[in-house]
């Protein structure tokens, strides 16, 4: 039995929820998101809670039950609270700045990297003297903000010897010992 799929989703005040056929649309103060559901999954709004049900007990349907319940819960939370990802640039000379939706990164290459962000993602950069630069991504779409953060991180992944690179704030980098001098 899917424990995640059975759990009801509480809809906060100010969030509109509509189902038309297989398309679920959630609208809130931060934006609007929609998700198409398979024919075997249905959603009902009862007394301010969303209940996700499945039509049969097939293996794929059981997997979809938990998946789409989680996706709908993420949509409801996204349009009401939003999501944030924080990236830290660790390394000498690593810098980040933004002009609108363009992120300008200096990551130790011979050139700066210009990264164009989707319009749904809001970006801010923090550069404090003596601390590593931080890039903050905000959006109402959890999948999109996670994908953009992963793409920025992939431009210079943290290396295990000195820990240089782009990492998530709070991410633990497993370190390796370097070469020792031969005697």
Question: What integer pLDDT is reported at residue 103 of this predicted model?
Answer: 94
Q: Which of 115, 107, 124 is nearest to 166 (CA)?
A: 107
- pLDDT single digits (tens) 125-153: 999 999 999 999 999 999 999 999 999 99
- pLDDT single digits (tens) 105-122: 999 999 999 999 999 999
Question: What integer pLDDT is reported at residue 169 of this predicted model?
Answer: 95
How many structural domains compose the chain?
2
- The domain in which residue 36 lies consists of 3-80
Q: Which two tokens stand for residue 11?
A: 């809809």
CATH label of the domain that carries residue 88: 3.90.930.12
User: Which residue positions in the chain have pLDDT lower than 70?
Assistant: 1-2, 181-183
Helix, strand, coil tally for the chain in percent (to 5): 20, 35, 45
User: Are residues 137 and 102 located together in one domain of the fold?
Assistant: yes
Residue ending a domain, among 80, 98, 117, is: 80
Report the predicted TM-score, pTM, of the whole model to 2 decimal places. Answer: 0.88
């Amino acid at each position: 039995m899917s424990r995640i799929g059975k759990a009801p989703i509480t809809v906060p005040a100010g969030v509109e929820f509509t189902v038309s056929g297989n398309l679920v649309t959630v609208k809130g103060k931060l934006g609007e998101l929609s998700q198409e559901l398979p024919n075997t999954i249905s959603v009902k709004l009862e007394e301010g809670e969303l209940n996700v049900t499945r039509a049969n007990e097939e293996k794929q349907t059981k997997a979809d039950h938990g998946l789409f319940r989680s996706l709908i819960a993420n949509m409801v939370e996204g349009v009401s609270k939003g999501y944030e990802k924080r990236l830290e640039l660790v390394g000498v000379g690593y810098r980040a700045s933004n002009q609108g939706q363009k992120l300008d990164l200096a990551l130790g290459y011979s050139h700066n990297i210009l990264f164009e962000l989707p319009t749904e993602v809001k970006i801010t950069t923090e550069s404090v003297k003596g601390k590593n630069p931080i890039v903050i991504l905000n959006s109402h779409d959890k999948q999109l903000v996670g994908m953009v953060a992963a793409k920025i991180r992939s431009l210079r992944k943290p290396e295990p010897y000195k820990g240089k690179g782009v990492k998530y704030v709070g991410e633990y980098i497993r370190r390796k010992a370097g070469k020792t001098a031969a005697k």
